[in-house]
Amino acid sequence: MKRILLYSICPCIILLSCSPSISPIKGDSGLYGYAKKSGKMVIRPQFKAAWDFHEGMAKVGFKVNKTDSLWMEPSFDGEGYWDVHTQKVMRYTFINTKGEALPLELSDAKQFAEGLCPAFKNQRWGYINKLGQWQIAPQYVRANLFQKGSASVTRESANGETWYELLIDKENRIVKDDPTGKWKPIWLDSIPEWRTLMASAHLYQRLNDYSTMLLYLTAAARRLPIIEAEDTLMYLQLCERLAYLGVMRVDEPLYDTYHALAQKKIEDVLATNQIRRRMMALNHINYLVEVADLRNLHMQPEKELDILERVLWVVDSAGEDRLLYEDIEERIKALKAN
């Protein structure tokens, strides 16, 4: 039986090794063409970039002119004007083994698999066939190769905040749905150290760039379990800063989420005798006072009162001197009187 199997497999190996193949090669001009293993050129060098063939099609790159315009603001008594400039940008298409190109100008593309290829245009991924037609129009933020009749893709929500991981067939019908989705990852997620994210957020806070500060803090918050395990003080600061930004931006869900986490953590801290207990308590008091001031600015007396009473609770629980917080008691009395 083993001898029969050996004889049945060997012809296949011989056929594969003898099958003609061509590979990309860079010519003297700096452009790419395709040559056989013997070195004989079969597609003349004419492309800025070239990749291997898959299913009889190869991705190639070429340069096109792209014109951009930028409005230049007037300086002093001068007039504004449009600054128009042209630059070369890379675009992609596919060729067959004869060197015939599809009539496409793609921003990016992958390779063919099961007759279709993920292709990128107008900031979205879709799928093209070997005729250069869009089998599935560009609509996904990510798209993978087809395998066994289906491909995994990522669809973005209308508000751009959530990604849904789907499995589709070649007719763009959903094979496997993702009803809940996940928070859209951002490039900040690639930063390996959460302390870097926190330090950067602090820098943008000093620059009063709260939108960028929020981006860094949100990226750090996706690592909350790690931060909680490694540094309680930084965990508290992260939750407090995000809650504060929630009040500042009138984003109550953001405030509610991280204020609750901060409250729970400070209660745990105050129930212990850890070294940085007093530091965390004083920091938390400062955070609560800042939130109360914002509530006052937003004319939210009930929420301001709730926060101020929480200040006194932390003062008492931490064993701090109430006489240092007489102004808080006066504010509470005034709010209750009204």
Which residues, 6 or more positions from 199, have their beta carbon under 8 angstroms from its beta carbon? none
**Rounded-to-integer distance, Cα 25 and Cα 110, Å:** 19
- Which pair of structure tokens corresponds to residue 261? 């986490």
**Rounded-to-integer distance, Cα 226 and Cα 217, Å:** 14
**Residue 130 carries which DSSP code?**
T
Tell me which amino acid residue 104 is: L
| pLDDT for residue 274 is more than 70 | yes
Question: Among 96, 73, 92, which Cα is nearest to 83's?
Answer: 73
DSSP secondary structure string, 230-294?
A: H-HHHHHHHHHHHHHHHHHTT-HHHHHHHHHHHHHHHHHHHTS--TTHHHHHHHHHHHHHHHHHH
Lowest mean pLDDT among 15-19, 124-128, 169-173, 255-259: 15-19
Which residues, 6 or more positions from 118, have their beta carbon under 8 angstroms from its beta carbon? 109, 110, 125, 126, 127, 143, 144, 145, 151
Tell me which amino acid residue 331 is: R
Question: Among 65, 66, 5, 58, which Cα is nearest to 33's?
Answer: 58
**Rounded-to-integer distance, Cα 208 and Cα 202, Å:** 10
Total Cβ atoms within 10 A of residue 103: 8
Annotate 54-93 with b (16+ C-beta within 10 A) or e (fewer): eeebbbbbbeeeeeeeeeeeeeeeeeeeeeeeeeeeebbb
Q: pTM of the prediction?
A: 0.56
Task: Tell me the average pLDDT across 141-168.
Answer: 93
Overall residue count recorded for the chain in this entry? 338
Q: How confident is the model at residue 76 (pLDDT cuts 50, 70, 90)?
A: low
Task: Tell me the average pLDDT across 320-331.
Answer: 94
pLDDT, tens only, 38-70: 989 999 999 999 999 999 999 999 998 887 766
pLDDT on residue 182: 85
